[in-house]
Structure formats: C-alpha cells, structure tokens
Amino acid sequence: MPVAGTRKLCRVGLAAILVTALCILTLLDSPPARLPDPPTDPPPTPGGEPPGTRSIVAYSWARRLALDYRPTKQCDRNGTRGMALNAYEPPGTKWLETIPGRLFLYSAHLDLRVVGYPSIRVIGVKRGALPPSALFCTIWYREHGETRSLSVEALVSTIWLDEWDGTADSYTGILVNCQLPLDDSISRPSRIYVGPNPCYENASHSLTIRPEYGEEISVERKGRQEFTLCIKGLDFDEDISRKLIAFVELHRILGAKLFYFYVFNVHDNVLKVLRLYERSNVVRWFALDLPGDLPNEKSTRRRFFGEDIWTKRRMELIPYNHCFYENIHRSEFVVPIDIDEAIVPTRRKTWHELLLDERAKLGRSFKDFASYSVRNVYFFPELQNKSRPSVEQHPDYLDTMRTANISPEGDSVKSFVSTRRALTVHNHYALATLNPSTRRAHHLNSNDVLKHHHRACDSRHLDCDLLMEDVRIDESALRYADELRTRMKIALADLDALP
C-alpha cells in the first residue's frame, strides 16, 4: 500500500478511536436513564461498560485531574484580624454567607485520597445560579511560625442532578474543590474562605478545617474502622429515646462503630441518649439549621418541608455529605440511613461477613463500585401483632411480618458507600464517583440481605392495599433479640444514672 494511503488510514483510525472514547466518556458520566417523580427515589447509573474502555477512562481521569488543576497564588497581605487559626468550631450552628443571599458554606475537609492531588472539599449551598465569573478559595496555614495565605480558583460541582428538579431560585447543595499545591508545601491548612475575590483578607469570616487530619491519616495507615452510620436531621416532639437506643444497639451488633446524628429539634430525653453515647465515643451529633431565608422556627420549617419535598430532599444531602467527608480517612464505608430502617443480612450475622461474601463473589470487580445497595421491604406496624409488649421487650426492629414485595433495584435502597471511591453521597447511594471509571451502585442479592423499613403505610405515596395483600413471615432479625435486649437494658440503666 502507498505511504500516503497508509497515513490516511492511520488518521481515519485515530479519529475513530477518539470519537469512540468521547462517546464512552459521555456514557459513563451521564445521569441515570430514568428520573423519579416525588417521592420515588432516583435509580442508579446503568451498570456495565463497553469492553476495552478501562485504560481510556483511566487516562481520561489523569488527564482531567491535570486539566482541572489550578495553580495557587501566594497572597501578599495575610490579614487575620486577631483570629486564632487553630480554633475549631463545629458546623451546624451558623452558615458562613460569602455572597449575600446566594452562597452559604457549611464545612471544609482535607481530602488526600487522590495521590499527588491534595485538596480541600467545601460543602455548601447555593441559591439559584452562582456568578458567571470564577469563585476563589483563600486558604490560611502556618509556616515557620507565621500565618500565610494563598488563593486558588475554585471548582464547583452540584450535589444533585438538575434533571431531578430545580427552579431558578432553588437552594441546592454544592461541593467546592480547592486544590492545594502539588509539592505538599501546605501540610496543615487551618481556615478557608470561598467567594468572588482572590486573597480574601478577613480570616475571622472563614471556615475552620478539621484539625484531626493528622490523626485521621495515621488511622488510614494503621487500618480504618469499617462502618459509620449517617442519620439526617432528627425532628421529633415525641420521646423516642428508647427507640433510639434500640436503633444504636442493633446496628452496633451488625457492625457499626460510629454514628453521626444531625438534630433539628428533639425531646430532652433524646438529647440525653445522644450525650450518653457521645461520652463513650459511639455517637457524634450536630445541631442543624437551614441557610439563607429558609425557615428555622420548628413549626414553620416542618410545614415548609411538608409542602416543598424537593427542597427538603436537597437539604438532606448536606448532613449526609458532611458525615461522608468527616469519615473519608476514618471509615471504609458510610451508611446513610433513617432510624426506622435496619439493613439485615439473611445468611450472615454481620455486615462485615456479608461484604466479605460479596468480595469473594465479585473478585477484583468489587472495587469497580462506589456503593453497595440493599433493596427495601416494609414491616408495616399494621401487619404486626397488636398485643406486642413494650419497646424494651420488643423493639420494632424485631417485627416478623413484612410485605412480600421487594422494591426494584434503585427504588428506596440504602447503601454501604465507599469512602475511597465516592465523591458525593445521595440518600440512597453514591451520587458522584471520585474516578469516572467507577460505577455508582452494585445491588446486593435480596436473598442475602434486605433493608427492613419499619414505618406506617402512607397511602399518598404507596399502594397500601396492594402491598398488604401479600405478606411473608421474616424472622431474620430475631437472632439478634437476646443480645439486643441485654444491650438495651444496660444502656437504659446508664441513661437513668445520668443527672
């Protein structure tokens, strides 16, 4: 074949490869194929990927990191205005408003998961569209006993999918990436501000970056705990303290080591339970409020959330993602879950054993997923024996009558979310992945595990008559009964001993 013809053929082949790669990347980064109507839960990303794309996607990720990198700029003036840069303030009391009425910051976290690309992730909320011009991160740190600051252009991603819902004025969660210098010259960043101007000077109007990162990294090297539970904003007038004890103790039996609770308004006895477990480092809890002009008075907020389900759902993602980033160097998995739910294996006793089995089934492909999802069944109280004893003797989590219908994959699931492979978290699985080649969700076999949902049937959202036509006896939780009752008895005695 003539040389010119060979060159032409090579050019055509190269063009075909590039077009194929572009199509593959578009497919992998696309949102779910079908979108939910409220209150149905959004489905996972369709599984699978064309053969032979792994190396292309891996290259794409490295290339994307390089293209996304923004060089830092040292700030000439490092005004701190008397702020102690090592002071740590927990999130949840006040939002940091940096663009009036439009940008609100919640918390900041050091992320060292991508080798060679250290960054600070800032969780916040935007109202409507952000300014078309760039946002900037100002980062304060200590070097040789002096306070310095640097500035870098921010990269903003939404903790939501626009296809689900959104208006021009919506409050929506965001994740801001603030890249640190690649030479590891900034090992201990202290505070951060994100706003429209570089080299912001007022460090007193900034977020603190969690101080425990040194400890967390050493934990990473020594081996991390396996499961942390994330529980969205509690808002109950009722005294659910005994139910909360049952929830914590059952999940400790299943394998949870740490619980993150977020609190709007609860009964005083519920606060006593949280403080009881906080003393033994089982629970961390945070007061929670809403940003901007969203209502924070109890009855007004409840009425607002009842009328605006989509804003409620978007705001729920803030504590879930805060919990996730608090644990990226501490835990292998976080589990966003509600207090009327329990993930119960059927063949194994603990989550550790369950996921060991799944690792054996999937082999190397286990690490291709950012979350491992469990399908839902309902244990409606209407189905249970009405003459049950007290909650101490028979917590809801030990009920045995459930609907035969098991939710479809992607509908009402809850997941073990990998802290190594997820970027942002949804109520039900990883929303975005750290590496584009990672798939969002793998569904565990319903014969191996189910999510038990203990709630009254709501005919506005569920076909209660149809669901309760076909029921099953499910005693899988009863194997925990004796240990759960013993643990509850001890915890209740400890609770009564508190002042």
Tens of pLDDT, residue by residue over 106-129, are 999 999 998 888 999 999 999 999
Question: 313 and 206: one domain?
Answer: no
Per the domain annotation, does 58 fall within a domain? no
Per the domain annotation, does 21 fall within a domain? no
User: Which pLDDT score, from 0 to 100, does residue 455 have?
Assistant: 92
- Asked whether residue 1 carries a pLDDT value surpassing 70, the answer given is no
Tens of pLDDT, residue by residue over 68-90, are 778 889 998 665 554 555 444 55
Q: What is the CATH number of the domain that holds 292?
A: 3.90.550
Question: 421 and 321: one domain?
Answer: yes
User: Which pLDDT score, from 0 to 100, does residue 52 have?
Assistant: 36
The domain tally of the chain equals: 2
Question: 236 and 206: one domain?
Answer: no
User: Which pLDDT score, from 0 to 100, does residue 184 have?
Assistant: 77
Last residue in a domain, options 187, 211, 235: 211
- Parent domain of 454: 224-497
- pTM of the predicted model as reported, rounded to 2 decimal places: 0.85
Question: 135 and 233: one domain?
Answer: no
Question: 330 and 473: one domain?
Answer: yes
Question: 235 and 193: one domain?
Answer: no
Question: 194 and 237: one domain?
Answer: no
Question: 170 and 232: one domain?
Answer: no
Per the domain annotation, does 67 fall within a domain? no
Per the domain annotation, does 1 fall within a domain? no
Tens of pLDDT, residue by residue over 175-208, are 999 999 988 778 789 999 999 999 999 999 999 9
Q: Return mean pLDDT, the chain.
A: 84
User: Which pLDDT score, from 0 to 100, does residue 390 have?
Assistant: 67
- Asked whether residue 376 carries a pLDDT value surpassing 80, the answer given is yes
Question: 201 and 298: one domain?
Answer: no
From the number of C-beta atoms within 10 Å of its C-beta (0-12, 13-18, 19+), residue 291 rates as: buried
Last residue in a domain, options 179, 211, 243: 211
Last residue in a domain, options 156, 185, 211: 211
